[in-house]
Amino acid sequence: MLALPRRTKCTRSVAPQPAESLGRSIVVDNRVGAGGTIGLELVARSAPDGYTLLHASDAAILVSPQLYIMLRALRYHPCLE
């Protein structure tokens, strides 16, 4: 499970419940920087196997990608990936 900085404490407190239900361990990976786009890109580029989850703020998902698209610096398309 990938958590962006402000969500880490919440994600770490919630992770044990699905881990127990699934019978598997869950690792919380905190990726910081670039307004959340580093973590978002990691999730967008991960294998579509259902093992990667994202816990992020609305701004990281909605605002940051739009700013990076305007700057042509985003390496993934937020609506397609």
Residues 31-45 as b/e (b if ≥16 CB within 10 A, e otherwise) read: beebbbbebbbeebe
Using a 10 angstrom Cβ sphere, with 0-12 exposed, 13-18 middle and 19 or more buried, the burial of residue 79 is: exposed
* Domain positions in the chain: 2-71
One digit per residue, pLDDT tens: the chain, 81 residues?
A: 655 566 778 888 888 998 899 899 888 888 877 777 788 888 888 998 988 888 887 777 777 667 666 656 666 666 666
